[in-house]
């Protein structure tokens, strides 16, 4: 199941890259925009991935961001959507909270492959637990309008510690580090704009 998921997602990347293989002069553009999206691994694998017929069945955030719509008249079937796919460019998959300090959140750093910190647990009876919106596993993305995704533990936590005011606004991605930092993560443009406007609104 996991292997299938990876194959489908890489397929779209392959489309994007091989689409440009006919326009070698644009190769650099593809590489650099791809880099901005943090796609190193996906692209590396995509270059060696075999071509596939699944291309037209899926539109990923990558396709949308690159401006390639691969959705055809043939409506995608549910089985073509990876079971663990979470759209990282849909605000619905983010949680916004406004909390006073101390928040009672135990954060932990992701594996160094990704960086960034996530909610390890909530202190019982603490501010965050009482607020009830956060869940263990949520990935911290922004503190106020400051992007802290991918930062190491001290820097990310430092942003919370340094924040002033009666309460601090946090935006977290509800998904795994891989879904956010991997090939299906948001584009840099989308994330910048999202952070700039203050992230997810506290529901
Ligand atoms: C967010 O911050 C991280 C760590 O400094 C950086 O790698 C990433 O490019 C930033 N993203 C945006 C959209 O500014
Ligand atoms: C998806 C993912 O890699 N999440 C990891 C973030 O980092 C923590 C701690 O290293 C891991 O337990 C998670 O699995």
Distance CA 50, CA 176 (A): 27
Q: Which ligand is nearest to the CA of 138?
A: 2
Atom of ligand 1 at shortest range from CA of 36: 9
Cβ-contact 65, 83 below 8 angstroms: no
Q: Compute the radius of gyration of the chain from its Cα atoms.
A: 18
The last residue of one of the domains, among 53, 80, 107, is 80
Asked whether residue 165 is assigned to any structural domain, the reply reads yes
Tokens of 94: 């983010």
Length of the chain: 203
71 and 153 part of one domain: no
Ligand 2 pocket: which of 109, 112, 115, 118 to mutate (most atoms <8 Å of CB)?
A: 118
What is the three-class DSSP state of 138? Answer: coil
32 and 126 part of one domain: no
60 and 105 part of one domain: no
Distance CA 8, CA 30 (A): 20
69 and 95 part of one domain: no
76 and 95 part of one domain: no
Q: How far is CA 86 from CA 6, 18, 19, 28, 131, in A?
A: 13, 25, 25, 29, 24
147 and 185 part of one domain: yes
**Residue 93, pLDDT score:** 98
**Residue 83, pLDDT score:** 76
What is the three-class DSSP state of 105? Answer: strand
Instruction: Say how many Å lie between the CA of residue 28 and the centre of ligand 2.
Output: 32
- Average pLDDT score, the chain: 75
Query: Helices marked H in the chain — which ranges?
Result: 2-20, 27-36, 40-48, 61-66, 127-131, 153-162, 177-181, 188-196
In this predicted structure, the answer to whether residue 47 has a pLDDT above a threshold of 80 is no
Atom of ligand 1 at shortest range from CA of 151: 4
State pLDDT tens for residues 61-107.
655 555 555 544 444 454 455 678 999 999 999 999 999 999 999 99
Asked whether residue 203 is assigned to any structural domain, the reply reads no
Asked whether residue 41 is assigned to any structural domain, the reply reads yes
Domain range for 166: 91-196
Q: Whole-model pTM? A: 0.65
In this predicted structure, the answer to whether residue 25 has a pLDDT above a threshold of 50 is no
Phi first, then psi, for residue 43 (nearest 5°) are -70, -40
Q: Which residues pair with 169 in a beta bridge?
A: 98
76 and 111 part of one domain: no
Ligand 2 pocket: which of 109, 111, 139 to mutate (most atoms <8 Å of CB)?
A: 111
Per the listing, tokens 């820097």 go with 155
113 and 177 part of one domain: yes
What is the percentage of the chain residues whose pLDDT exceeds 70?
A: 59
Phi first, then psi, for residue 120 (nearest 5°) are -85, -45
Asked whether residue 202 is assigned to any structural domain, the reply reads no
State pLDDT tens for residues 103-129.
999 999 999 899 999 999 999 999 999
Residue 182 is given by DSSP the state S
124 and 184 part of one domain: yes
Cβ-contact 169, 147 below 8 angstroms: no
188 and 126 part of one domain: yes
Asked whether residue 65 is assigned to any structural domain, the reply reads yes
Tokens of 193: 């704009």
The last residue of one of the domains, among 59, 80, 101, is 80
102 and 187 part of one domain: yes
Residue 70 is given by DSSP the state -
179 and 125 part of one domain: yes
The last residue of one of the domains, among 22, 50, 80, is 80
Asked whether residue 137 is assigned to any structural domain, the reply reads yes
* CATH number of the domain to which 104 belongs: 2.30.42.10
* Structural domains counted in the chain: 2
């Amino acid at each position: 199941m996991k292997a299938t998921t990876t194959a489908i997602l890489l397929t779209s990347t392959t489309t994007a890259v091989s689409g440009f293989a006919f326009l070698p002069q644009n190769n650099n553009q593809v590489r650099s925009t791809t880099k901005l999206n943090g796609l190193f691994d996906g692209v590396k694998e995509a270059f060696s991935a075999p071509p596939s017929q699944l291309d037209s069945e899926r539109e990923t955030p990558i396709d949308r961001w690159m401006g390639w719509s691969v959705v055809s008249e043939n409506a995608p079937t549910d089985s073509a959507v990876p079971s663990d796919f979470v759209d990282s460019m849909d605000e619905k998959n983010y949680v916004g909270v406004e909390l006073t300090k101390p928040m009672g959140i135990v954060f932990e750093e992701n594996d160094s492959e990704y960086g960034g910190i996530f909610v390890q647990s909530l202190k019982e009876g603490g501010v965050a637990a009482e607020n009830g919106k956060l869940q263990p596993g949520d990935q911290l993305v922004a503190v106020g309008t400051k992007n802290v995704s991918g930062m190491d533990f001290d820097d990310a936590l430092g942003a919370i510690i340094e924040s002033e005011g009666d309460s601090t606004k946090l935006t977290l991605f509800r998904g795994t580090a891989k879904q956010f930092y991997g090939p299906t993560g948001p584009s840099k443009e989308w994330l910048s704009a999202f952070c700039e406007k203050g992230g997810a609104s506290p529901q």
